[in-house]
Amino acid sequence: MNVHWLRYYGRLIGSSVLLIFVVILVMFLLLEIAPGDPIQSLVGQVPVTEEFRRQMTATYGLDRPLFERFVSYVANVATGNLGYSFANREPVTELILQRLGNTLVLTLPSLVISSIGGILLGTAAARTRSKVKDGAISFAAVAGFSIPSFWLALLLIMLFAVSLGWLPAQGMASYGSKGLSVPHLILPLIALAIPELAFKARIMRSTMIGVLGEDYIDTARSKGLSSFEILRRHGLLNSMLPMVSVIGYSLGFTLAGAVTVEKVFGWPGMGMLLYTSIQTGENMVVMGILLVVAITVVIVNILTDLVYGLVDPRIRARSRMSRGVNV
Amino acid sequence: MKRTKWMLAAAAVALSAIVVSGCSASSEPSAGGDHVFVVAIPSNPPQFNLGVTNDGSATFVGRSIFDPLVNLNTDYEVVPALAESWSANADSTEFTLNLRHGVKWHDGTDFTSADVKFYFDEVIPIHPLGAPIAAVYDHTSTPDDFTVIVSLKSPFAPFIQALAGHMMLPAHLYAGTDIATNPANLQPVGTGPYKFTSFTSGDSVIVDRNEDYWGEKGDVDEVVYRVMPDSNARALAFQSGEVDLATMLPLNQVETLKSDNRFAFDSAAMAEHLYGFFNTASATLQNADVRKALYHAIDRDEIASKVFLGTGTPSVSPVPNQVTWAIDPATDYTTEFDFDLDEAGRMLDAAGYPAGADGTRFSMNVTYRTDNASWATTADLIKTSFGKIGVNVNLVGQDTQVFADTVYTQHDFDFALQSLGAYADPSLGVARAFICNPTNGSYRNPTGVCDPVIDGAFAATAAVSDPAARLAAFKTAADAVAADLGTAPLISYNQITAYRADKWNGIDQFNSTDVWTWGALRAK
């Protein structure tokens, strides 16, 4: 790794930190002007007594000016403190960490399944000569991508939990048991993975069709490689480039999709925490979760950039040539 | 066969992703006996101290952990709980409560008059439903461990009824602390039939039977409250058999579930009232005749049948129809303000709003909450009906938080739909929708109507204990409301509770009061 690369990644990280700061600023202001009264939601849908409102405002410093609260929030975030949750009576960082694991057991497998499934399905659609097969896969992909996940989730529950009775409808594990059970995972995983899988299959199909039309594929064929070998060595590897970015970006979509899926399945993850916190006007928690998601997406994008450079010799070469370095 | 191998490898990776994510599974049933009762709660409870929250899910859980001093039966009659008996002086300013002997908190400490005194002194002023008592409360004296004498500054007849909403808290854990942030709010200690065992935020609350409970013990060894935020999914989970009791189900789902004989349905005890609030600051609606005309133009029979599917009835007075003792037979808004579009049109003509060339008189907003599909359908029916008399309606659907802000704080609405609970006594839960609200408090009257006659009449309903005198005061209030009509009572209904009739006996008695009667619940 040379000076140029250090400078490149230095700039990337610098702009990412700036981006996070802007995210905090914009979210802070948006939540500030959003209607909602945390003290009211603490009490429920009955009048708040003046005495209680006075006590809570004093306890949580809600009467401090906006700028003062913003500065102290940013200072706290820099030290890893995301504030305090009113309703849950817990530091936001701890609250999120408790739920993060539950969300990851849902989103990471979903990411893996949708990526592998999307690549396989997209490739199958690209190389098949059967119009029917290609059409069927493409149609399924558009449908899968267009189905709202809450609706898909409800249909899955109706079919597999209510009608067939094979799988549980709600939660991470049976009542009264701790941890996670695989049967509980299956339906939410399907509901979360299908739209992503469909999207990736469509990208993969069009990329693969492009790649298979390249000259080097003809060259490989004329060398006498089997069509499967051509696909594996030349087709897949070259099609992976756009897929690397798509997979990187899709983490953000998967985390967003988890909000709906977790709500429908009563899955105690970060998405459900976000949903509840928006409903109850718990701005500190909403800020915290959005910040964790924003930071995750930024980090993954930096990693995607790194991986890109690693898997594609052309990018490395191009950047060297642009500086007049001998290749 | 390189190709198959490759495909197999991919499949193996995908499969291991599932297995790895599931490997932390340790299905270890928690301690508890044979009979587990699963209750679906609609949201994650913020905490369990019912002294500082009226959150629905917290109330569900708190009802099995805490006890009130008195309870109400289905006929709204007061029955003993932690207080075995009580008496009042002649002018309802001093109440003597005789406490049950031998009751212990779940941590083994004795329940005494000191707990009750602490509750009146410290909790009532900040309690969400404490205002009516706090307004008249003077002091409490405790001659001995089991006698409590509460003195009021002015007469308050429904004092004993008002106590039914108040769950006693342990003074030895709360005295001298910040009640709203006390750690015991998440590790509740009560005197009730179930002891708190665990809370997994966002997932479940588990309580186990209190073997030392002073009252009758039921068959249920362990109650699991499961957080199920999606109402449709909640109904499906109930249908699939994962849940023994669920509430706040979509009414159309309830209709579907009714055909299954495993399930039964029961109305919750508390009367709910759907109100329409007119904003009297709006240029058009400041005219009481316009408001009355629009009330005539709402087909409440249609709303009762199409939206509430027969579980609600058009309200005849400010007090919900279920509370019959507080409704004078001479009061009947369904005849006084019957559905009559012609009459409504004539009234609007007379009020100076004739139909224009295109048939339109004026436009207005109807604001409703989107958290329950029933309100959207109700607003839709009102829009159609108002349209027929030339009143254009813009529907404004809002999230609970936004609704509270626009309607109660900003007053940025024309007509708003809101459902409020009546609580143990109409002087407690009903009056707030009609009396003056100068501080713009949420879940109170947002119409801007500040009528001394209405305020005086509702105050009178609370100041006397003689039933005939109270009825007369409610009549005065009903007449004053009808004269001005800021708040229009629309539909009286009860929440529907769905339960497994094939697994449990006695749920009707179990569900009949403000506090669940666990002793009545028997496994089949």
pLDDT of residue B175: 92
Q: Residue A279: which of B36, B243, B401 has the nearest Cβ?
A: B401
Q: Is A279 in contact with B399 (Cβ distance < 8 A)? A: yes
CA–CA gap between residue A188 and residue A181 (Å, rounded): 12
pLDDT at B262 over 60: yes
The SS3 assignment for B320 reads coil
- Please indicate whether, in this complex, the C-beta atoms of B2 and A228 are within 8 angstroms of each other: yes
The minimal CB distance from B237 to the residues A95, A170, A281 is found for: A170
Distance of residue A249 Cα from the nearest chain B Cα, in angstroms: 20
Q: Please state whether B76 falls in left (phi above 0), alpha (psi between -120 and 50) or beta.
A: left
Contact call for A36 and B432, based on CB within 8 A: no
Residues of A in contact with B439 (CB under 8 A): 50
Mean pLDDT estimate for chain A: 84
**pLDDT for residue B22:** 42
Q: How far is B126 from chain A (nearest CA, A)?
A: 5
- Measured from the Cβ of residue A134, the count of other Cβ atoms closer than 10 Å reads 17
| B487-500 and B263-278 strand pairing | antiparallel
Q: Lowest mean pLDDT of A48-52, A100-104, A254-258, B313-317, name the range.
A: A48-52
Q: What is the mean pLDDT of chain B?
A: 87
Sign of the dihedral through C-alpha A60, A63, A66, A69: negative
Q: Shortest CB distance from A174 goes to which of B27, B240, B406?
A: B27
- Residue ranges of domains in chain A: 3-90, 99-280
Residue A63 tokens, joined: 């009467």
List of chain A residues whose C-beta atoms are within 8 Å of the C-beta of residue B21: 105-106, 108-109, 180, 185
Q: CA of A46 to nearest chain B CA: how many angstroms apart? A: 5
Asked if the model's pLDDT at residue B124 lies above 80, the reply is yes
**pLDDT over 70 at B102, yes or no:** yes
Contact criterion met (CB < 8 Å) for B201 and A165: no
pLDDT of residue B512: 65
Residue B69 exposure: Cα atoms within 13 Å on the Cβ side: 24
ipTM: 0.78
At the top level of CATH, the class of B271-494 is alpha beta
What is the DSSP code (8-state) at residue A3?
H
Using one digit for the tens of pLDDT, what is the confidence trace for B270-312?
788 999 999 999 999 999 999 999 999 999 999 999 888 888 9
H/E element, B265: strand B263-278
Contact flag B128-A112 (C-beta cutoff 8 Å): no
CB–CB contact A176 B25 (8 Å): no
B27/A189 CB distance under 8 A: no
Q: What b-and-e string marks burial along B364-375, b requiring 16 or more CB atoms within 10 Å of the CB?
A: bbbbbbebbebb
Assign domain A99-280 to its CATH architecture: Orthogonal Bundle (1.10)
Q: Pick from A42, A48, A178: which is nearest to B46 by CB?
A: A42
Q: Do A264 and B230 touch (CB under 8 A)?
A: yes
Pairing, β B83-88 against β B78-80: unpaired
Residue listed under structure tokens 């403000």: B514
Contact A268 B202 (CB under 8 A): yes
Of all residues in chain A, the one with the smallest CA distance to B21 is: A105
Q: Give the pLDDT confidence of A89-124 residue by residue, as tens digits.
A: 788 998 898 889 899 999 999 999 999 999 999 988
Chain-chain contact of B19 with A181 (C-beta, under 8 angstroms) = no
Q: For testing the chain B interface, which of A37, A49, A86 should be mutated: the one with the most B CBs within 10 Å? A: A49
Angstrom CA distances, B220 to A6, A305, B217, stand at: 66, 58, 8
Give B59 to chain A, closest Cα distance, Å: 10
Q: Which of A158, A175, A194, A233 to mutate to test the interface with B (most CBs of B within 10 A)?
A: A175
Residue A233 and residue B29: Cα distance in Å, rounded?
Answer: 50
Decide which of A62 and A14 is more confident.
A14
CA distance B124 to B135: 10
Q: What is the pLDDT of residues A67-92, one digit of tens each?
A: 888 888 888 888 888 888 776 778 89
Please give the residue of chain B at the shortest CA–CA distance from A175: B224
Chain B closest CA to A110's CA: distance in Å?
Answer: 9
Residue B285's pLDDT is what?
Answer: 95
Q: Return the beta strands (E) in B94-221 as ranges.
A: 94-99, 137-144, 147-152, 194-200, 204-209
Helix (H/G/I), strand (E/B), else coil: B302: helix
Candidates B135, B131, B158, B124; CA nearest to B50 is B124
pLDDT tens digit sequence for B352-395: 999 988 999 999 999 999 878 889 999 999 999 999 999 999 99
Give the chain A residue nearest B28 (alpha carbons): A177
- What pLDDT is recorded for position A69? 83
Quote the tokens at residue A201: 């299959």
Residue B440 has pLDDT above 90, yes or no: no
CB contact under 8 A, B14 and A113: yes
Q: What 8-state DSSP symbol labels residue A232?
A: I
- Please judge whether A179 and B27 are an interchain contact, meaning their C-beta atoms are less than 8 angstroms apart: yes
Candidates B401, B406, B436, B445, partner chain A, best to mutate (most A CBs within 10 A)? B401
Task: Count Cβ atoms within 10 A of the Cβ of residue B289 and give its class: 0-12 exposed, 13-18 middle, 19 or more buried.
Answer: middle
Tell me the pTM: 0.81
B19-48+182-268+496-523 CATH:
3.40.190.10
Domain ranges of chain B: 19-48+182-268+496-523, 271-494
Residue count of chain A, please give it. Answer: 327
Query: Residue B273 is encoded by which pair of tokens?
Result: 């009232």
Give the gap in angstroms from C-alpha B276 to the nearest C-alpha of chain A. Answer: 17
Within 13 Å and on the Cβ side, how many CA atoms surround B501?
14
Backbone angles phi, psi at A192, to 5 degrees: -80, -35
For residue B153, how many other CB atoms are within 10 A of its CB? 11
**Bridge partners, B198 (sequence order):** B206
State what percent of residues in chain B have pLDDT above 90. Answer: 53
Q: Distance from first CA to last CA of chain B, Å, rounded? A: 60
Q: Which residue of B has its CA nearest to A153?
A: B233
The full DSSP string for B388-410 is: HTTEEEEEEEE-HHHHIIIIIII
Q: pLDDT digits over B203-261, tens only?
A: 899 999 999 999 988 899 999 999 998 888 888 899 988 999 998 888 878 888 888 88
Best CA proximity match to B36, nearest among B174, B169, B147, B194: B194
CB-CB neighbors (< 8 A) of A236 in chain B: none
